[in-house]
Amino acid sequence: MENPYLSIVIPAYNEASRQGKGIREHMKEIKAYFEGKNISYEVVVVNDGSKDDTSEVVKSFMADFSDFNFIDRKENKGKLFSVQEGLLKAKGKFRLFTDADGATPIETLDNFWGHLEAGEHVIIGSRDLQQSKIEKHQPKVKELLGNMGNLLIQFTLDLRGIEDTQCGFKVLSQEVVEKIIPQMKAIRWGGDFEILALAKKMGYKIIEVPVTWIDSGQSTVGIKGYIQTLKELFQVKWRMVTGQYQCRNNKQ
């Protein structure tokens, strides 16, 4: 089979037990969205060692797609580890990663296609632009922690102006995947800013695109997640300043 235009990588952890909109609805929406569109795509779901029936649930809709890959790992390693695995398994010219619960609906891609066609390399969803549509907000404390965390991230990793590094809806070109993703080490939640920091250092333009966000009201990320993210932030910074990444600026 020819390589698809777009790969859709979905990390999944205990998604079978999520209340409300979840992976089943999200997969239906993906299928419906591409119906009638002349765009080749594949789906890559990575089960991150779920303790519930996520594996069975994913298997139940595999047959609905002509190009579906399932990495069914037994051990929990982290969201961004799963994203890394999925992005490297994927074959698309462009590769999207998005959350299993579909908090950012797949139709949001409507805002992305133009940038893909223009040959951009790093196009990321943002919940903090003027045109972003937050239909259901995250709990207030999460939003506040998110905004404070964002300032710290912008400042620490020289990502000034990027208002939302953590939105789980990002498209990378094949070139960026090949150069950056094998180097990722922040495998829990820090991988998002690790990717962006490397991309910036290599001279890639980072394009922020407004997204719609409908918070599922249920999160698998708790306070431990925030502490982990902070730790990963300083680890990424450390690897940066001690020259542990290969990030030659190829745009100069």
Ligand X SMILES: Nc1nc2c(ncn2[C@@H]2O[C@H](COP(=O)(O)OP(=O)(O)O)[C@@H](O)[C@H]2O)c(=O)[nH]1
Nearer to Mg ion, 4 or 102 (CB): 102
Nearer to ligand X, 48 or 208 (CB): 48
Asked whether the beta carbons of 19 and 52 are under 8 A apart, the reply is no
Residues in touch with ligand X (CB under 6 A): 11-13, 15, 48, 76, 78-79, 82, 99-101, 103, 168, 219-221
Query: Cα angle vertex 99, ends 34, 105, to 5°?
Result: 45
Asked whether the beta carbons of 94 and 173 are under 8 A apart, the reply is yes
Q: How far is the CB of 154 from Mg ion (least distance, A)?
A: 23
Residue 85 interacting entry, from Mg ion, ligand X, none, C-beta within 5 to 8 Å by type: none
Strand partners, 45: 10, 70
Interface positions, 190-219, toward Mg ion (CB under 5 A)? 216
Query: Cα angle vertex 169, ends 168, 170, to 5°?
Result: 115
Q: What single-letter amino acid sits at 146?
A: G
Residue 101 in contact with Mg ion, rule: CB under 5 A: yes
Residue 103 in contact with Mg ion, rule: CB under 5 A: yes
Residue 76 interacting entry, from Mg ion, ligand X, none, C-beta within 5 to 8 Å by type: ligand X
Asked whether the beta carbons of 124 and 94 are under 8 A apart, the reply is no
Q: How far is the CB of 136 from Mg ion (least distance, A)?
A: 11
Residue 208 interacting entry, from Mg ion, ligand X, none, C-beta within 5 to 8 Å by type: none
Q: What single-letter amino acid sits at 132?
A: S
DSSP state of 219: -
**Which residues contact Mg ion (rule: CB under 5 A)?**
101, 103, 216
